Amino acid sequence: MGLAGNEVLAAVLQVRSGSLRVLLWQRAREPHAHRWSLPGGGLGSREDVQESIRRQLAEKVDVRQLSHVEQLSVFSAPDRVPGQRVVATAFLGLVPSDVDPEVPADTAWHAVDSLPDTAFDHEAIVRRARDRLAAKLSYTNLGFALAPPHFTISALRELYSAALGYRVSATNLQRVLSRRGLLEPTGDTAPPGPSGGRPAALFRFSARGILVTDPFAVLKPPGGGRPAGVGSTP
């Protein structure tokens, strides 16, 4: 028996309030009514998957505010949805931390580490998206897609820590990214905080498009006999 249908889904991630979050919408109908789903839907007969996911994302979020979109994986388990078989092509989307896209009333941002009840295999897709993001932060410049155009090193450290799921060193993060040629100073400083002190320098990513910078780098948390964190990256 042949395949019954194809759909596209997107795990759109953003660091919000210090945690990595995913955009989900609450289903109103069966199957899995009232559970939370990734944005997406059926693949149109006259569109490819890239066209389809951007069309369907536009119903939930201003796609102009997406800083990066890439194909994540194909999910094809025969029983992944009830009824006829549906194969899903999933995408990873990223939104920078300095924007707050307007979303419909049935849609909200949820912490990846504490997801609500999700529909079908969407939790597994979210986990795959989180793992892809963490991996690419190791060997590419994908941090540009999480960060605002200008940032302090301490703010960038917070973004990396949220995305990787463990605390990283601001000093070592700056050293690693600068050595790879990914960061450049803007020449400006951030406004002083309430407690005053020395103004912090502002930086930007040298390129805001995906680049493989070190194909063999792996950023891992310290402890437990595992390789050390960002500071140990060669």
Render pLDDT for 162-219 as a digit per residue (tens, 0 to 9): 999 999 999 999 999 999 999 999 999 988 766 667 889 999 999 989 999 877 666 6
The domain limits of the chain are: 5-129, 140-232
pTM of the model: 0.90
CA-based torsion, 135, 141, 143, 144: positive or negative? negative
Contact 229, 168 (CB under 8 A): yes
Q: What is the pLDDT of residues 118-140, one digit of tens each?
A: 999 999 999 999 999 999 999 99
- In the chain, the percentage of residues whose pLDDT exceeds 70 is 88
Q: Domain 5-129 has what CATH class?
A: alpha beta
Domains 5-129 and 140-232 share a fold: no
Rg (CA), the chain: 19
Domain covering 140-232 assigned CATH 2.160.10.10 in the classification = no
pLDDT computed for residue 64 by the predictor:
87
